[in-house]
Amino acid sequence: MNKKVEVVGDQQALIARSLELILSKIETAIEQHGRFTIALSGGSTPKPLYEAIATQNLPWDKIHVFWGDERYVPADHPDSNQLMAHRAWLGRVDIPTANIHPMPTSDQDPADAVAKYEQHLQEFFHSSPGEFPALDVILLGMGDDAHTASLFPHTEALKVRDRLITVGNKDGNPRLTFTYPFINAANCVMFVVAGANKRSALAHVFASVADDFTYPSRLIQPQGELWWLLDKDAGSELKQDVAK
């Protein structure tokens, strides 16, 4: 695994470095296979990153946007990851509607939505059931409990190894989420993490020994590149041999 950890001065520097890396991945992917695929994360940290991407002059018709997880709320709900990304980025650029691939959240049973999105992914990537297609970039955040996407500590979603998508659970509320084997199939996974409240979780995630089901971000070990981009508040206590 190609793991890289960078600690930068503040959140502004964190966004600038994240943008630089994503733009490089866009250029390389389009040059190599004519399109770029990315899965977005929710939360407050990536919003300024999406706003920064929206200011770029990019070949939008060659960029396809997915989501790594979604709260099970309508698309126009204030808590929707899709809505946040639309306001910050996708609604501000000339990207074809067909290139935006939101998770469906209108089915009465979230399991039905899981099946629909998994089928959509298989059709898009021309993959068969049981295969894990590789997105170019999957963006992830991390909570102060070390969850990522909607893979929360000690939940059933962490046990799913044979699907692309599953139902996550947060305090009894369902969510849709990529499974960790699907995340690990990516060409590049980027954690973008800010805030001193993440230090304890990071210490366990980077520890040589800890329980993966208590600290789910430890399960993210992709076949491609793994980037941990941290601001100083989050990463200042990491050992120097890690945060370099």
Mean pLDDT of 94-112: 97
Measured CA to CA, the distance from residue 215 to residue 205 in angstroms comes to 6
Q: Phi/psi of residue 37, each to 5°?
A: -115, 135
pLDDT for res 43: 87
Nearest Cα neighbor of 64 from 82, 39, 31 is: 39
Task: Report the chain's mean pLDDT, rounded to a whole number.
Answer: 96
Mapped onto helix, strand or coil, the DSSP state of residue 226 is: strand
Mean pLDDT of 206-232: 97
pLDDT for res 2: 85
Bridge pairing between strands 165-170 and 173-178 = antiparallel
Q: Which residue has the tokens 């039905």?
A: 112
Mapped onto helix, strand or coil, the DSSP state of residue 203 is: helix
Mean pLDDT of 182-210: 97
Measured CA to CA, the distance from residue 103 to residue 167 in angstroms comes to 12
pLDDT for res 242: 59
Amino acid at 108: Q
Which tokens belong to 194?
């800010």
- Predicted TM-score (pTM) of the model is 0.96
pLDDT for res 244: 43
- Angle between helices 47-54 and 11-33 in degrees, nearest 10: 50
Bridge pairing between strands 63-67 and 36-40 = parallel
pLDDT in tens, 134-190: 999 999 999 999 999 999 999 999 999 999 999 999 999 999 999 999 999 999 999
Residue 205 in this model has a pLDDT that exceeds 80: yes
pLDDT band, very low/low/confident/very high, at 227 (cuts 50, 70, 90) = very high
pLDDT in tens, 57-70: 999 999 999 999 99
pLDDT for res 239: 67
